[in-house]
Amino acid sequence: MTLPAVVLGLMFVGLIAYALFAGADFGAGIWDLLAGGTRRGARQRDLIEHSIGPVWEANHVWLIFVLVVLWTAFAGAFAALATTLYIPLTLAAFGMIARGAAFAFRKSITTLGMRRFLGAAFAVSSLITPFFLGAVVGGVASGRVPPGIAAGDVVTSWVNPTSILGGVLAVLVCAYLAAVFLCADARREGPEDLAEQFRARALGTAAVTGAVGLGGFFVLRADAPLLFAGLTGRGLSVIVLSVVAGLVAIALLVLRRYASSRLASGLAVTTILIGWAVAQYPYVLPPYLTIDQAAAPRTTLVATLVALIVGGAILVPALAYLYTLFQSEHAEHAEVGSPQPR
């Protein structure tokens, strides 16, 4: 494996981490939107706020990591992305800002009208942000981002069938991950009826996501033939693994094995992303720019790799401790299934 591929692979690990952790975070906001009225949805919103409160800011570390590595090690690809896809990227950034501000201020506001406004801002931003990020992925994967400054069409690069498919799938995957994660959190906190509600939502979302994903192959065959050929060729085994992991996750949800279903769901999403990477290899911007062509000089790549190794040795254990600090205490309880009194 070449040095550029190693650096890009490490960056892709950060992208997977962002998809899993921030994806569940965005999905929790989607369920906040769909929780119902102020009184009917109060318990669900309290659980969502309690679940994402300790770690929601930490999730964006992964996005910053991906952007910095892309900017440093693959500057040409970064420039093409930032200038051709600046509209969905800007809208996603506004969504993140509005979402964060609304989530932070909602907890300190006492007037009902303002709390509703901030809650709506948080929930709607949680819906649109993953959609625009998925649209960006669709634009890249369908070959609509050529190298150069604003060389691609700034509208059709993300308003096209593959980008719309990517946006819809991103929203559905986020909602599914959040529902699975909230099942275990609801059981851990005690209200078993909430666990059942999110279990039903997880199963329903899984069915819809599977149907959209299956139909998406026809979209890709017509709109992104290079990606379709990669997914049905060298990436097929990874996609099959994703399907198997998804079916296992559904079976675990049916059996109410919520802690294990988290792992299987995470594997399903991870392998979807890996399948995309395998199908697109060796291109960063298909079909124009390969990994080696887009890479910075060797000295820059070596310095970046050293920084990633040193930084990872500090960052990863800290984040792992942060996540496990709020989960491990009751993980065994969530697996066996007897509610713990608060």
- Summarised one tens digit per residue, pLDDT across range 134-155 is 999 999 999 999 999 999 999 9
Task: Identify which has the larger pLDDT, 319 or 267.
Answer: 267
Q: Is 284 helix (H, G, I), strand (E, B) or coil?
A: strand
Give residue 55's pLDDT band: very low, low, confident or very high (50, 70, 90): low
Compute the distance between CA of residue 322 and CA of residue 181 in angstroms, rounded to an integer. Answer: 16
Mean residue pLDDT of the chain comes to 87
Task: Identify which has the larger pLDDT, 309 or 192.
Answer: 309
Task: Identify which has the larger pLDDT, 82 or 323.
Answer: 82
* Other residues' Cβ atoms within 10 Å of the Cβ of residue 327: 19
pTM passes above 0.85: yes
Compute the distance between CA of residue 64 and CA of residue 327 in angstroms, rounded to an integer. Answer: 25
Query: What is the pLDDT, as a whole number, of residue 308?
Result: 92
Query: What is the pLDDT, as a whole number, of residue 341?
Result: 33
Q: How many CA atoms lie within 13 A of 3 on its CB side?
A: 14
Query: What is the pLDDT, as a whole number, of residue 199?
Result: 93
Of 115-129, 182-196, 259-273, 281-295, which gets the smallest average pLDDT? 182-196
Query: What is the pLDDT, as a whole number, of residue 57?
Result: 65
Q: Is 5 helix (H, G, I), strand (E, B) or coil?
A: helix
Query: What is the pLDDT, as a whole number, of residue 331?
Result: 47
Compute the distance between CA of residue 258 and CA of residue 221 in angstroms, rounded to an integer. Answer: 36
DSSP codes, 47-101: HHHHHHTTTTTTTHHHHHHHHHHHHHH-HHHHHHHHHHSHHHHHHHHHHHHHHHH
Query: What is the pLDDT, as a whole number, of residue 38?
Result: 66
pLDDT tops 90 at residue 237: yes
Give residue 315's pLDDT band: very low, low, confident or very high (50, 70, 90): confident
Q: Kindly report, residue by residue over 118-130, the tens digit of the pLDDT.
A: 888 888 999 999 9
Of 99-103, 107-111, 273-277, 308-312, which gets the smallest average pLDDT? 107-111
Give residue 335's pLDDT band: very low, low, confident or very high (50, 70, 90): very low
pLDDT tops 80 at residue 54: no
Compute the distance between CA of residue 173 and CA of residue 178 in angstroms, rounded to an integer. Answer: 9
